[in-house]
Structure 1
Amino acid sequence: MAHGEGSHNRNSVEAGLEARGAELTGRLIKVVLDGEALHRLSALQEADRTQAVADLEAENEFSPLSHPELESVLHLSIQEGRMVFDIRDSHETPLMAIVLAMGPFKMLIKDYQMLLDSYAGAIAEGREAKIQAIDMGRRGLHNEGAELMQARLEGKVMIDFPTARRLFTLVCALHQKL
């Protein structure tokens, strides 16, 4: 699905919710990452993870269709090879869990991790042109990952593109070795 292709579905979902008097105004107020992979992050991966969490908590669109106005806490983890979105209310009361297979994400995550390794090497070598080329590749992979994230969450949670990009970054941090 290309960026923007889900807009027709989003509009129909929004129209249905508005007809019932609900709006998609939900957002994440806190993001918690669970997993031992977080202890093995490189400095660059840790910086990406920290920035993604900070950006998500500052600005996001995250509306579970069953609770479209919810300000929620997201516990994100990888368990038994599956991505788990444990969505809770602001008091940490569990509301719903979404479990997604990692299979569709594996190649993108593997490519992203290879780009991070290349990026670190290019920085160490001081090769500006290579750094810029790798950074363009990273952005492209982020876009693909965001589109896939939106598609996989469709019908469960409405998220905007920047939120999907940040969630993809966090999934990459959680799933180090595929």
Structure 2
Amino acid sequence: MTCARTAPSLFRLCAISLDPPLGCHTDATQKREQAVAIFDLLDNNRFAPIEHRGGPYRLRLSLVDRRLVMSVTAENGAPVLCHHLSLTSFRRLLMDYRLVCESYASTEARLTSDRLEAIDMGRRTIHDEASALLIQRLKLKIEIDRGTARRLFTLIHLLVSQQLLGGGHLTRKTD
């Protein structure tokens, strides 16, 4: 018996980049996290700009004035959309996720497997909440599935972390 191969979806990402790329403030764990998220995204994703006939698409993520800029082009480079997404509603989730990830990394060698599993469960819960929020916030511009949203949140977290380490601020400055 032979299995029929299905054609790849037109509503998927074929390339992802971060602007700026993760730089000198990034540790090996974060670089690995980025590589895994991008690999998993390119392997399996659902990415459908509303009212567009199909891709595949290239996605560039950047932070400008405390906003996530999602620049989407077709595979051939033709512009599809540029969406600016406020990160205000993600602020608590981004901070909680960063704290849980740091806690896991700093105590990994000292804790029992039960304790590490509890920390990881907390990380997954925050990740799930953030991916649901991302799906909700993008629904008028881009349709994505849960797995795509989870991996995109990982990349957003890495971009924000790099900006914070590089001297940028996620929160509003007050006088």
Q: TM-score, normalised by structure 1?
A: 0.81
- Work out whether residues 52 and 169 of structure 1, in 8 Å CA contact, stay in contact via their aligned partners in 2: yes
Q: 1:119 to 1:46 in 2, by over 3 A?
A: same
Correspondence for 2:4:
none
Q: How does 1:20-31 map to 2 (within 5 A)?
A: 25-31=10-16
Name whichever of 128-137 and 140-149 sits farther off.
128-137
**Does structure 1 conserve the Cα–Cα contact (< 8 Å) formed by 2:48 and 2:54?**
yes
How much identity, in percent, do the aligned residues show?
Answer: 34
* Counterpart contact for 2:48–2:142, Cα < 8 Å: yes
Other-structure match for 1:34: 19
Q: Could you say which residue in structure 1 is the equivalent of 2:5? A: none
Q: Deviation above 3 Å: which 4+ runs of structure 1?
A: 36-39
Alignment map for 1:3-14 (pairs within 5 Å): none
Shift of 1:131: 1.2
- Residues 41 and 130 of structure 1: is their aligned pair in 2 closer, same or farther, counting only changes over 3 Å? farther
Q: 1:150 aligns with which of 118, 124, 135?
A: 135
Contact 1:44 1:116 in 2 (8 A): no
Question: What secondary structure sits across from 2:63 in the alignment?
Answer: strand
Answer whether contact 2:10 2:55 (CA < 8 A) is retained: yes
Instruction: State the 1:79 CA deviation.
Output: 1.2
Q: Aligned-pair distance for 1:147?
A: 0.4
Is 2:124 the counterpart of 1:139?
yes
In structure 2, stretches of 5+ residues that fail to align are 1-8, 165-169, 171-175
Does residue 61 in structure 1 map to residue 46 in structure 2? yes
Measure, in 2, the Cα distance between the counterparts of 1:33 and 1:84: 10
In the alignment of these two chains, the number of paired residues is 155
Q: Which residue of 2 aligns with 1:119?
A: 104
Larger mean Cα displacement after TM superposition, 58-67 or 118-127: 118-127
